[in-house]
Amino acid sequence: MPKIENAFAGIVLTAQSFNPSIFTETWLARHGIVSADTLTGVRVFSSEVAQFQTSSVQVFIVPPKMQITFNIHGDSDDFTLPLKIAKRTIELLPHTPFQGLGLNFDFFVAQPVGQDFNSFDRDLLGTGDYRLLQEFSVPDAKFGRYFSKNYGESRLKLDIKPVQTGPDQKDMLQFSFNYHYEISQYSTDDRTRRLIQMVEPWGTLRNYAQQVVELGTTK
C-alpha cells in the first residue's frame, strides 16, 4: 500500500495590508496567543516583517499576508495552538482589511514497498486516452494532475506532482490542497465573523483532504 510519509498544514490570511509591527513578544503574551517562554529559534519583530515560532508552529507576517504552518503527521491530534493564533489574530485586529483565507494541506506519499516510484506514478496518473501521454511513454517519465471544484464556501484546488524531498531526496507524490475563501465581498464589519466561521471547520477539511489522498492512491 502507498504510505503517507509526511504532512503539513497552513493557514494563510491575506489583507490589503497587515501591520507586522503590532506583533511583538509582549503583545502575543498579553493577549494570550503565545507566551515568550514557548518561543524558540529565530524571531524577528519589525515594521516590515514579523517571524516567530514554537516547537510546533511557525508564523510569518508581511504586509500582504500572515502565514501559519505546522506539521500534521504523527500521533498528536492537538492542533489547538495554530488555530488559536489564527482566530485570536482575527478577533484582535477587526479593522485589518482582510481579503481572503487559505487553508492548505500538503501530503507526501511514497510508493508501496517493492514497487518502483516511476511505475507507481504512471499507474496512478500516467494512463488514459489523452494523446499527449503517448509522448511520455518512456520509463523515466513522471506525471502529475490538477483538479479544482467548489467545496462549501471555498474553491478547492488540488495539485498532485512528483517531488524529491527529505535529506535523501526521496521521490514522492505531493498532494497539495488549497481551500480558498474570498471575503472581499463582505462588509468590513462582517469579515471577522465570517473568517472565524471559515477557520473553525479546519479539522473537517483536513479529514476530507486525507480521504482524497487515500482515494487518489488506490487503483
Question: Which pLDDT tens digits describe the chain residue by residue (219 residues)?
Answer: 899 999 999 999 999 999 999 999 999 999 999 999 999 999 999 999 999 999 999 999 999 999 999 999 976 667 999 999 999 999 999 889 999 999 999 999 999 999 999 999 999 999 888 888 888 989 899 999 999 999 999 999 999 999 999 888 999 999 999 999 999 899 888 999 999 999 999 999 999 999 999 999 987
Q: CA–CA separation, 144 vs 133, rounded Å? A: 11
- Grid cell for residue 45: 519583530
- Ramachandran sector of residue 152 (left: φ over 0; alpha: ψ -120 to 50; beta: rest): left
Q: Please give the single-letter amino acid code of residue 191.
A: R
* CB neighbour class for 135 (10 Å; exposed up to 12, middle 13-18, buried from 19): exposed
How many CA within 13 A on the CB side of residue 85?
Answer: 25
What is the structure's pLDDT at 76? 62
